[in-house]
Structure 1
């Protein structure tokens, strides 16, 4: 029975090692899902020796190919301080890219980071902005925005209470005494005069407190207006960046569609006047695939350049980046046809 258990254990270890090897092969062949799985296994030491450097490498490859899941995992890995190797500036880079592209999870994560690292007041302001942006689409973002507003209100209230305490100390009754001359002149009615002087002092204190309160309210209103103005400026900058990215993607799509239409037109014109031998289905697939990649069937580059072009097109046709699943399937099929032709 012991031999059977030992045999099964050896077989399971061999099959698991083979799955890691298969994942590595797929990841090297630009398989985004395999890159994400392999990166997380290397980060957690799941069935393989943990390697932070290798995990970051594979997750970056997947994130650069347009995977938002990989970008989130990569940012969390950069923020992980379990080995005192956190890199918050790189995490901010990936989270900001996703947040600009309306990724609610990244918006909330970025707001949490700024909220928990309040080294400067500006961090709390940035946390407020990202919580406010994500609030319409996330309950967690809405709770975070309310929490930030409560913190700001409590901080302002603490300043006011501190100022009132200082004012009360400044006008303490023990410091308000009648002059010796007045005491000598009014010895017979000293108690009544003391009450009058105290009432006058308290009246002045009340007037001073009233003026201070009005000044504080005016200052709070000015700060609120300035913060709203800064928030609108930052929001406008984010919207301008989003419009710029969308314009670039639309322009690249139009260029590719124009190339494809020109190819179809040339193919139709060349097939009408001269009757040539029927084109095989394989050659027709190759011609369509080359048109999608912007190549000519008789001048296809090497596989390395083809993969580089494929990454560029993924940023246009990927469902996570303004594309669709149908476009991505067509692109993957075209890549397979071209690579089969080149590797013959």
Structure 2
């Protein structure tokens, strides 16, 4: 028996944690910063879900971009130490510096220790420029333009170095090849073969450059499409959630209205039952020699029928409204809906009496 309760408690705990994770995911996708940070911690610690450092970094970065200082520290640590991603000191310094600018003494100390550890090594001025322009680009369009230009210059410089390396390699291969022609001819008069070879090298360089540019353009287009798809997915999930919440609110409102109607009907029935009990008491006290009491007047039957349907005898609605009310009460009194046959018969009789009174 004890094992059963232990197993039951473990299952209940598992279901509760699963519900908490699903709730955090929904709130995080709706751009709730606190939920994004909490979800990232869940993925980082792996206590209530599978440990996933890459997913943790994704949600930490989302929260950091929204200004969460704790998330900034987590993102800086991830990039500096390669947690959930490859090491990227430039990105790590960016987030650490941004956190230090918010006034965090821990970040300021960590930043000082990082530069102190460099000792005699010089700091690349271009890297510092990139760091500060990246930080300023969030609030300054001019800084954004300069940051983009700096990235473009770095890309062009890297591409030029790659092309130069290719040229040097080809030149080394060309110099290593044996020459069958006399040295005097090579020194004094360039041949058509060497000219064609130079043209071939230039063509190879252009082809390699074109392939590299095509690959970079393809990667940029793919990243933009992926980002757009992610945004559309989040928007669709948010819209669906709003629609579901509206349906739930409408159903709750309908249930409240029906509950009020039932309470009104119940009070009216109680009142009529009390009056009926008083009449029965008076009849019991009447001498036996007295003539039998007359049958209940039609007005009393109509009042009872109206009470069952939830209307006042003086304000009986039209036949269409009566049918709507009858359908609503049938869902409550029907035996298949936790009602009883006796209650259903009482409802049918009340409906007949009210309809008959309208036809007179």
After TM superposition, the score normalised by the length of structure 2 is 0.36
Larger radius of gyration: 2
